[in-house]
Structure formats: C-alpha cells, structure tokens
Copies of this chain bind each other. A is one copy, B any other.
C-alpha cells in the first residue's frame, strides 16, 4: 500500500509502484513536477504576452535585445544562440517582428555577411510593458504558495540542479 497521493504526480508514481515495485520513482516525481510547472507557467505567460500582441518566442527576441542595453542591437546569430533557437527559426521570428514594426534589420558595416537587428521604439515599449506584466503575474503565483524564505531555498536547489545540465 502506498501513501495517499497528494497530487497528480504522486498518483502517477503510485501507479508505477503498483505495477513495477522495483522502480525508484523519486526522480520521476521531481522532473515530472518541473515539467508540469514549466508547461503551466508557459501557458500563462503566453496568454499574458498575447495581450501585447506578441508570442512567448517573440518576447524572448525582444527581451534579449532590450536587456543588452543601448543601442538595443545584436546580430541574428547572437539572438539565435541566446534564445536556443536554430538560425532557420530565427529568420522566421525576425520576419514577423520586422513586419510588425518592433525591430529593424540593417547591414553590418564591418562584415558584409552579417546583419544587425535593432529594437524599434515601439518594440521597446511593448517589451517593457510585457516584462512588467509577466513578472507581476509570476510574483502573484509564487506569493500564493511560498514565503520569501521558501522561494529562496527553492531557487538555491534549482540552481544546483541546473548546474548538472
């Protein structure tokens, strides 16, 4: 007999324990929760950004430019490396964002192979508004279940775990 499942992830682990008692299900519960939280927050943040007319992936591009500081200019190569996206995918995102007037492409004066991508004024406004809204939303969710000490503890453990990847 297993303990009463406390959440859907525990329920899945209990099912496994019943049919495969030889398994150590702890790693599955840790990574299962991480996966579900990531996905749930992804959905919420997607909705939040949608209010500003951009997708999560588009936000990533704008945010990378914004936090690089003035003059808000990077190459497509730097952007695709930072956002963990292939260059093919980046071409498509830049096309959409350029068409929406949130950034512009111009030739790199020092390397005729390259381009420079620059955030427009409208792009800077939108990313500033959406990053604020997203952080506020995340803050509310966190505050609802963890106090400041717990959040710090969680962050420390996550930093350790991320270092293994």
Interface residues, chain A, with chain B CB atoms under 8 Å away? 6-7, 9-10, 12, 15-16, 18-20, 23-31, 33-42, 44, 66-69, 84, 128, 131-132, 135, 138-139, 141-142, 144-146, 150-151, 153-155, 157-165
CB A147 to nearest CB in B, in angstroms, measures 10
For residue A84, which residues in chain B have a CB less than 8 angstroms away from its CB? 39
Chain B residues near A164 (CB-CB < 8 A): 141-142, 144-145
A142 to B68 Cα, complex, angstroms: 33
Q: Do A163 and B34 have beta carbons less than 8 Å apart?
A: no
For the complex of A and B, the 3 pairs showing the least CB-CB separation, nearest first, are: A27-B138, A40-B165, A38-B38
Contact A154 B12 (CB under 8 A): no
CA distance A66 to B18 in the complex (A): 11
Cα–Cα distance between A45 and B57 once the two chains are bound (Å): 23
